[in-house]
Structure 1
């Protein structure tokens, strides 16, 4: 009777033991998977945080470096991040300040001073100013400059302006077109700019009276074929412009062994130089168009009025005043005008 009463209790104890054994068998793998040390060791091959810090700093062996090129860059490119910060925090704001500041100064100057009119009525007698070749080079280079400036500005700032307005699809097409135009027209601009600079070099050597021109802020201070302000623009193109061309070629043709550092510095130099030239070019465009009466005619027709020559380039006027041609004669003798203009330059 005692045995028959004990059997149910024994069965319950055996069943409980089996349940405990099964539960231990299930929970043991779960505990093993939840072990942080074992998980980290199997997931990343035992790479510790200290090793990742060494990878970032470059203090590791060749196994953690990009061995495809002659460089010591590793899995984390700290130099590239430094370039990105310099470009975004300094170069981009510099462009906005330079270009925006120039536009603001032009607007204020035009409102306060207005257009510079001729000091006397036009005489109707024209002096040969620029020959056809110079004018053709000038307008070709100017057109390329404007296209490169607009495409470059789009590449730098377009994502902040056009992307929110037009959407990703249209903006993506604009960026792609801008990149292609910029890359292919850049070398052509460089070649033609060098040709134009070589053609105009003889007119732009510094002279003593140029310093007087700067001291007096312009005006009638011995202005020959080009004044000191025009010479300053010429030499900016000859120095900063050439730096922009060379850095652009480095970026355009990355398959000649340039290191990543070289490419990054070329990008910074290209951006600063191009943005600065764009800002100064706005002043050049203003003075040559709405800012000064009669200035644009010299680069469109090749001739300027005597009054304009006296006002803007008095020394040059004394040299060429005997070549003055009446408007009627000029209109009837148009095919020979470029030959005459060529002799004056």
Structure 2
């Protein structure tokens, strides 16, 4: 007779001792497996239990030490610079600065500037020329500087809009158009911002170099500010080729603008050894500077277009009317008034391809 089975009279095999053992082993294995699955599910539902399971021996006090930035053999890794902690506290600090301070700052300064300019326009109105136009023109901006100015201005507007979208877009466009549209929009904004930024930086430096001699501060600029650019008192304020306000805008670009460009390069090219802390500080500096520049640029755009009669003509045609030059840049006008030409002379010059691309003598 076989050791494992015994044949019953009816031909039906009986379970032997070993078959019973295997049945109990299978039952025990199923029980252990079910308990293990239950443990995993419970750990996933309970973060504290998951933490203690994944990292036994680490309690809440130790995690608070890690979060506070304390370092030690148990917390240190081999990563570069600020990545030496299991939890990088500086990342949370950056997030708080960005969300609690930088974003509200942007809304306040840009929104405030728009409100101020709107009220100013509604109450004071446009600055019209006091005298009649003479019809005689003075050459002010050569073609190269006009092209450079509009290139920088166009790039600045694109960068400002894409930057604002990166900072605030999800709060506006995501809710209006949905995730799909907003996702494509934010990707396009990031692409344009990253690739046009370096071009803007290079052109801005070239523009600043070309204009520096016309924007050296002079004594009469202080008087210009005291009289609010002519808003205080009845007399015109002395100004050379560039008035006090234009010089202020120039030096804002030469300081804050260059700082924004430099921090943008740090963010755009993270392959020169800069670590996470450096990138986070560069991001804060870049955002604050760019938001401030955007706010001030709104004032510059208003004054150069809608706010002052005749200002835009100089940057589109290169020429300004004698009356405009006399009222806004009287010191410069006195030096170049004998170089004025009539509109018919301009037509003749352009017809003969001698469009007068040599600027009149400048006084800053």
- Quickly name the TM-score band, shorter chain normalised: 0.7 to 0.9
Deviation of 1:210 after TM superposition, in Å, equals: 0.5
Distance 1:261 1:41 in 2: 30
Aligned with 2:304 (options 279, 288, 294): 288
Matches within 5 A, 1:22-33: none
Q: Which has the higher helix share?
A: 1
Aligned to 1:144: 155
Matches within 5 A, 1:1-345: 42-71=53-82, 73-219=84-230, 220-334=236-350, 335-341=353-359
The alignment's C-alpha RMSD in Å is: 2.3
Quick one: higher RCO (CA 8 Å, sep 6+), 1 or 2?
1
The secondary structure found in structure 2 opposite 1:187 is: helix
CA 1:43–1:153: 2 relative to 1, 3 Å:
closer
Aligned to 1:21: none
Is the contact between residue 151 and residue 182 of structure 1 (CA under 8 Å) also seen in structure 2?
yes
Q: 5+ residue gaps in structure 2?
A: 1-30, 231-235
The secondary structure found in structure 2 opposite 1:46 is: coil
The secondary structure found in structure 1 opposite 2:315 is: helix
CA 1:131–1:55: 2 relative to 1, 3 Å:
same
CA 1:276–1:86: 2 relative to 1, 3 Å:
same
Give the alignment's TM-score, normalised by structure 2. Answer: 0.82
Distance 2:159 2:324 in 1: 32
Distance 1:340 1:46 in 2: 80
Is the contact between residue 297 and residue 304 of structure 1 (CA under 8 Å) also seen in structure 2?
yes
Is the contact between residue 116 and residue 291 of structure 1 (CA under 8 Å) also seen in structure 2?
yes
Is the contact between residue 223 and residue 314 of structure 1 (CA under 8 Å) also seen in structure 2?
yes
Is the contact between residue 142 and residue 359 of structure 2 (CA under 8 Å) also seen in structure 1?
yes
Number of residue equivalences? 316
CA 1:134–1:43: 2 relative to 1, 3 Å:
closer
Q: 5+ residue gaps in structure 1?
A: 1-25
Distance 1:40 1:213 in 2: 66
The secondary structure found in structure 2 opposite 1:182 is: helix
